[in-house]
Amino acid sequence: MEVENAEKVNLEQKKKHKGKHDKPKPWDEDPNIDRWKIEKFDPSWNPDGLLEVSSFSTIFPRYREKYLQEAWPKVKSALKEYGIAAELNLVEGSMTVSTTRKTRDPYIIIKARDLIKLLSRSVPAPQAIKILDDEMQCDIIKIGNLVRKKERFVKRRQRLVGPNSSTLKALEILTSCYILVQGNTVAAMGSFKGLKQVRRIVEDCVENKMHPVYHIKILMMKKELEKDPALKDENWDRFLPTFKKKNVQTKKVKSKEKKPYTPFPPPQQPSKIDQELESGEYFLSEKKKLAKTWEEKQEKQAQKAAENKRKREEAFVPPKEPVKQDSNKSENKEEDVAALAKSLKQKAKEFGKQKSLQTINAEEYISAPAAEQPSKKKKKSKHI
């Protein structure tokens, strides 16, 4: 019973969705068809043109006026091929693009709008005209509002460019995009995939999340991993490096000590007139005031001159000689040495007398060698 019910349900579902449009199409399972490919627009798809006129305009800075005036004929001729009218207004400082009766592609006006945007952001005209291709897209990234301090913003913007524009060139090669850093914006041109990478790199750099060099390393590793067909359907996170942000210790701002709260305001400080009234200068004439200020100035100059003279003469001051010892102290020391020598002589004499009184063994004295025998010194007779 259950099997029959299931078959009935399947038949009902098939009957509901069955129709002439449900037949299998030849392109559904064709491996040669690339469904992501953007086909070039054919004017035969829209032979009647557009019903309404669409237009876009944008202003440009004054320093771009001369260049745009020179390059405008090229831009105008490039847009004319697609049936777009272009106007350069030097009085208002604006560029305008609009559709005409000859316009067939409805999306080309959006491309023309992007073209005038890029031209106003200092992108060269030959590079900006490439945006009219279907495979080329553009993105203008605003970076001016991401950082508050101007000095910090300039430093991080320079970090994105790199020394001799080496960082920017590496990013252009790896992302296959054209990148231009100008003022408070970054203009990028390329595929959707490349533009997504560029936006992430630029925002991480300006917000100080990750240095562009680390992004370059990751992109280089991805390029190498793409070449390996075995890793095509695998997750690459285990191969990619992870960079930890190091917090640099900043100087701690010294907080001022809070004074105790009082409802009363601080006492009013005396003004300059009050101070002059106290000292009596207020009642002096202009000549006397000038004379007093001149005297004070002369005193300060004299003090400064004396101080400079003292500093110059310090180099010629001889060093202090060592202090000689007092003669009384030296005499006392000599007396102490003499008394010590006298006492030692007396002790030596007493020791000699005691040794002579001791008994001497004759046999030991004779058997002892001649070197050990005490030599008898003859007393020299003093002739007076």
Q: What is the 3-state secondary structure (H, E, C) of 25-36?
A: CCCCCCCCCCCC
User: Distance (Å, rounded) from C-alpha 116 to C-alpha 97?
Assistant: 8
Check whether residue 223 and residue 156 sit in a common domain. Answer: yes
User: Distance (Å, rounded) from C-alpha 82 to C-alpha 104?
Assistant: 8
Check whether residue 181 and residue 232 sit in a common domain. Answer: yes
- Predicted pLDDT of residue 356: 59
User: Distance (Å, rounded) from C-alpha 174 to C-alpha 198?
Assistant: 10
Name 88's bridge partners: 95
Check whether residue 158 and residue 113 sit in a common domain. Answer: no
Query: How far is C-alpha 114 from the chain's CA centre?
Result: 33
Whether residue 278 lies inside any domain: the answer is no
Check whether residue 57 and residue 154 sit in a common domain. Answer: no
Which of 133, 148, 176 corresponds to the end of one domain? 133
- Predicted pLDDT of residue 363: 55
Whether residue 20 lies inside any domain: the answer is no
Question: Other CB atoms closer than 10 Å to residue 191's CB: what's the count?
Answer: 14
Check whether residue 109 and residue 183 sit in a common domain. Answer: no
Residue 36: both structure tokens together: 């992501």
CATH number at 173 reads: 3.30.1370.10
Check whether residue 117 and residue 210 sit in a common domain. Answer: no
Whether residue 11 lies inside any domain: the answer is no
Whether residue 360 lies inside any domain: the answer is no
- Predicted pLDDT of residue 37: 78
User: Distance (Å, rounded) from C-alpha 304 to C-alpha 299?
Assistant: 9
Whether residue 62 lies inside any domain: the answer is yes
Domain count, the chain: 2
Q: At what angle do helices 192-206 and 166-175 cross, to 10 degrees?
A: 150
| Strand order across the beta sheet in which 178-182 lies | 137-142, 185-190, 178-182
List, for residues 10-48, the tens digit of each pLDDT value.
555 555 555 667 777 777 777 788 777 778 888 888 888
Which of 109, 133, 157 corresponds to the end of one domain? 133
User: Distance (Å, rounded) from C-alpha 357 to C-alpha 16?
Assistant: 154
Whether residue 310 lies inside any domain: the answer is no
Check whether residue 186 and residue 224 sit in a common domain. Answer: yes
- Predicted pLDDT of residue 345: 81
Task: Measure the CA angle with vertex 103, ends 99 and 109; round to 5°.
Answer: 50
Residue 308: both structure tokens together: 């400079």
Q: Which residues of the chain have pLDDT under 70?
A: 1-20, 245-250, 323-334, 351-384
Query: pTM of the prediction?
Result: 0.56
CB 103 within 8 A of CB 50: yes
Instruction: Name which of 130, 205, 135 is nearest 167 in CA terms.
Output: 205
Whether residue 266 lies inside any domain: the answer is no
User: Distance (Å, rounded) from C-alpha 226 to C-alpha 230?
Assistant: 9
What is the extent of the structural domain holding 108?
40-133
Check whether residue 82 and residue 172 sit in a common domain. Answer: no
Q: At what angle do helices 108-120 and 65-80 cross, to 10 degrees?
A: 160
Whether residue 357 lies inside any domain: the answer is no
Burial 135-146 (b: 16+ CB within 10 A, else e): ebbbbbbebeeb
CB 221 within 8 A of CB 239: yes
Check whether residue 78 and residue 158 sit in a common domain. Answer: no
Which of 243, 274, 300 corresponds to the end of one domain? 243
- Predicted pLDDT of residue 279: 86
Check whether residue 222 and residue 193 sit in a common domain. Answer: yes
Check whether residue 123 and residue 208 sit in a common domain. Answer: no
Check whether residue 167 and residue 192 sit in a common domain. Answer: yes
Instruction: Name which of 10, 117, 133 is nearest 64 in CA terms.
Output: 117
